[in-house]
Every structure is written in structure tokens, then in C-alpha cells.
Amino acid sequence: MKKLVSSLLVCTIAVMMSFSSIGIVQAKQQTHEEFLQEVERKLKNAGEYVYGGQSFTVSSSSDFLNYIRSGADINDQLKKDYLNDLKDHLNKYNGKIVATFYGNENENDLGLYGAVILVLKELEVNPENFEGYNIVNTFENVDFSIASANPYYYRLAIEAANPEYKIKITDQFIEGYYTFGKGMDNFGYSCDNTSMFLTSLLTVKDNYAQYVTDAKKIILNYEKENGFIGEEMYTNYVNSDSTAYAMMAFSAIGDVNQSYRIYSLLIQNFETENSGLFGYKDNQNVSEYSTKDAAISLYYFKEFIKNGDHVYTVVSRDDATCYQDGKEIRECMICGHQETTVLKQLDHQYVTTVVNPTVNNQGYTLHKCSLCGDEYKDQFVTAMQNSAIQSVDTSDQTNILLYVSAVIISGMSIIYLLRKKSVL
């Protein structure tokens, strides 16, 4: 009975596993262009839901950036209002960008500089010459000894900076917030923090390869069934925001399989009936925060899938053997395109064993393939009964040993025979 139950359990698990893998494999058979348009629609809906009808100022630059990047139609009025505010701001602060946080002014906020510069680039306004101000130059000349950024906005500072300055900012970011093996610390470690960190490395990932590897591993530790959790201590349940951020991070560093896979989790488990609007814990109630985080994250995913690369997954595999080639068929999860790879026939991997002769049986060297079990024998050594000495090949150490033992055995036999004779 126990056996029956356990074998039933094994069957159930096997069925579940095969279903879940089918779930991932399931090809939608749409073109990459159609898929991209679908993602763009979701992104646009998310952006409109969160930011539609708002106007933006210097202090809300990162929101404006999110809105623009969601694909929103930015009308002239919106653009004019923002640029007027920026002009007034620069006039007031002698060309500097100054963040105000709870009444405190900070003229060394790298994140806000980054946001302003990126907004201007999106609006096709030159940040090096805006109303006579060179914002890029001011950005590069902040007092770096006291400069800082909200850890969630280093992402914008690094993206906006020129190559050398990027490195300087990234080093400061890592030193202040990253612990190898644990991730980004911003009031604790979490999936969201480390995902935001990894996304920040988008334009510098080649310079920080060991951090990319470390952060990827850490983020995947937060994955549970159907999504990602925030952190073990408090938000130990899968949620839309953590899942979206994980997708964003893998998109930013160019991991097509992971980002597509996590995108599927996000859509299946957290997107509500309204395309592009997401629920925090499930797909029932729209959450503005989750939708905002989805909008930020879907932008990175959209940018990444724009290149149209196939997202392959293995659908069948016949391993190569010692006698014939194998093949692996991979299928694109988006468009269903198949690609077959021939797996070259393998060479036998013979393991050699020397079998010593005995009094009655000859010795030999056995060669047995560890892959397929094929075997053959050679270097036969005659059984010792029939004049072991002559047949022993002394060319290697094993045989020298055999030779020596054979000599001893023969000597002993002679003594034995002599004694026998004397007894007779």
C-alpha cells in the first residue's frame, strides 16, 4: 500500500512537471513584431494609468522619464511646461540642478541630474546647451566628495553619464550599497534592491562582470513558484513588483531566456483583465504601485526584445551515442521557429583494466567503454601453469611484478618438487 501511494505520488509529480514545462514551452506562434507590439501596448497602458493627465517639473523628472518611455504621446503643452520649469530652475540656482527633500536643498544629487539629462535627450533637447546652460558639464563637476543619489536613481545617473564618469559613479554606488554575496542594501536586502542594482549596470556591465554574476545569482534566490518574493523577512510572498524588477534586471543585462521566462510569470500571475495594469499579489485588483513598477520594468524588457532574437528552449533531444549522431531541437517561445543542432557521434571512452593471469586462466588487458559498455581484450598473458616465465612481457611495471611473482612461484614449485622427490 505504501508502495502504491509513493508510486502514485511519483506519477503525479511527473505529470505536474511535464505540464509545467509545457506551460513554459507553449509557443504562441506570433511574429516577433506582433509580440513587441503587444508588450508596447501593455507598457503604454501602464504609463497612461499611472501618469496620464499629470504635468511634470524638474523635481518629478524621473516620473516624466517613465511616462515618456512608456510610449506616451507627449503633447507640446506637457513638453513646454517641463522645459519652462527647468529654465526657471536653472536661472534660480545659477545653472545647477537642486533637489529639495523635506525642505533640504541638495545641489549634489546625481540621480536628479541623471533624470533631467535623460528627459532632455528623450525630448531631443541638447542638455549641453539648454538656454545657455551646459547641464552635462555641471553634472560632471558636482562636489563628488559629498555627491550622492537615492540608490534607486543611481540607475539614471549612470545611464546619463559619459563613459569615464559612469565608472566613477558606479564605484561610489557599489561601495555605498553593494555587498558581495548579499546584494544591494537599502534598508535591508531584497529582490527589488538587487534587481534595481543590476539594472543600473546596464551600460557598464562589461566593466563589472563579477557583480553581474553575483547579482544574477542573488536575484534568482528570490524566485518561488509563480514569481519572485521581496525578501524573506517581510514580503515573503510572490508579488508583482519583485517579479517585474527581476524581469527588468535580466533584460538590462541581456539574458533573453530569463527575461522572457519572468515576463511570462508576470503576465500570467499579476496582470489584471486590463492589459498593462497589474495587481500586487494577484491579478484581481489593480495596484498603482505595481503598475508603476511594471511600467518601469516593461520599458527595459521592450528595449531588449526589440532586436528580435529568438528565445529558444529545448523541445526534444536525442543524445549522441558511440554509434550514431544525436540531435537537439530548440523552439522559439515567441514565434515557434525551430532549430536543429546535430550532436556529433561520441568516441568510445575505454577504461583499461589489467587482469592478472592465475594458475589456470590467462591474463589480459580489458578495455571497456564507460559510455556504451563495448569491450575488447588484448595483451594476453598465458596462464602460469604453462611456463609463465616465457610468456610474461616485462615491458611495463605490472608485468615486471607478474614476472617477479612468476619467478618466485616457479622457484617455490621447484623446491616443492625437489622435496617431494626427496620424500619419494
Q: How many Å apart are CA 29 and CA 214, to the nearest integer?
A: 35
Kindly determine how many residues on this chain lie close enough to bind Zn ion according to the rule CB under 5 A. 11
Residue 334 found at the interface with Zn ion (CB under 5 A): yes
Q: Tell me how far CA of residue 9 lies from CA of 19, 22, 226, in angstroms.
A: 15, 20, 22
Residue 27 found at the interface with Zn ion (CB under 5 A): no
For Zn ion, which is the closer residue by CB, 21 or 29?
Answer: 29
Residue 372 found at the interface with Zn ion (CB under 5 A): yes
Hey, is 338 helix, strand or coil? strand
Burial class (CB in 10 A: 0-12, 13-18, 19+), 163: exposed
The gap from C-alpha 233 to its chain's centroid, in whole angstroms, comes to 24
Report the residue from 266, 335, 384, 388 that binds Zn ion according to the rule CB under 5 A: 335
Q: How many Å apart are CA 206 and CA 210, to the nearest integer?
A: 9
Residue 87 found at the interface with Zn ion (CB under 5 A): no
Minimum CB separation of residue 267 from Zn ion in Å reads: 17
Hey, is 19 helix, strand or coil? helix
Minimum CB separation of residue 271 from Zn ion in Å reads: 22
Minimum CB separation of residue 17 from Zn ion in Å reads: 25
Minimum CB separation of residue 32 from Zn ion in Å reads: 6
In the block, residue with C-alpha cell 531584497:
190
Burial class (CB in 10 A: 0-12, 13-18, 19+), 357: buried
For Zn ion, which is the closer residue by CB, 350 or 380?
Answer: 350
Identify which of 267, 422, 409, 416 has the alpha carbon closest to the alpha carbon of residue 333.
267
Residue 332 found at the interface with Zn ion (CB under 5 A): yes
Binders of Zn ion in range 292-321 (CB under 5 A) = 310
Helix (H) or strand (E) holding 342: strand 338-343
Minimum CB separation of residue 341 from Zn ion in Å reads: 16
For Zn ion, which is the closer residue by CB, 372 or 389?
Answer: 372
Q: Tell me how far CA of residue 175 lies from CA of 28, 45, 47, 151, 186, in angstroms.
A: 44, 37, 33, 12, 13
Report the residue from 329, 369, 383, 409 that binds Zn ion according to the rule CB under 5 A: 369
For Zn ion, which is the closer residue by CB, 121 or 310?
Answer: 310
For Zn ion, which is the closer residue by CB, 98 or 322?
Answer: 322
Minimum CB separation of residue 212 from Zn ion in Å reads: 25
**Residue at 422: amino acid letter:** S
Helix axes 288-305, 32-51, angle to 10 degrees: 150
For Zn ion, which is the closer residue by CB, 162 or 321?
Answer: 321
Report the residue from 337, 367, 368, 377 that binds Zn ion according to the rule CB under 5 A: 337
Minimum CB separation of residue 68 from Zn ion in Å reads: 29
Q: How far apart are the first and last CA of the chain?
A: 72
Per-residue cell: 296:
518601469
- Stretch binding Zn ion (CB under 5 A), from 6-14, 95-103, 369-377, 405-413: 369-377
Minimum CB separation of residue 338 from Zn ion in Å reads: 10
Residue 266 found at the interface with Zn ion (CB under 5 A): no
Residue 135 found at the interface with Zn ion (CB under 5 A): no
Per-residue cell: 54:
499629470
- DSSP alpha helices (H): ranges in 253-341? 256-270, 288-305
Hey, is 54 helix, strand or coil? coil
For Zn ion, which is the closer residue by CB, 155 or 302?
Answer: 302
- Stretch binding Zn ion (CB under 5 A), from 51-59, 91-99, 280-288, 365-373: 365-373
Minimum CB separation of residue 305 from Zn ion in Å reads: 10
Report the residue from 121, 261, 327, 348 that binds Zn ion according to the rule CB under 5 A: 348
For Zn ion, which is the closer residue by CB, 126 or 370?
Answer: 370
**Residue at 318: amino acid letter:** D
Helix (H) or strand (E) holding 32: helix 32-51
Minimum CB separation of residue 275 from Zn ion in Å reads: 22
Report the residue from 371, 383, 391, 405 that binds Zn ion according to the rule CB under 5 A: 371
User: Which residues in this chain contact Zn ion in the complex, by CB under 5 A?
Assistant: 310, 322, 332, 334-335, 337, 348, 369, 371-372, 374
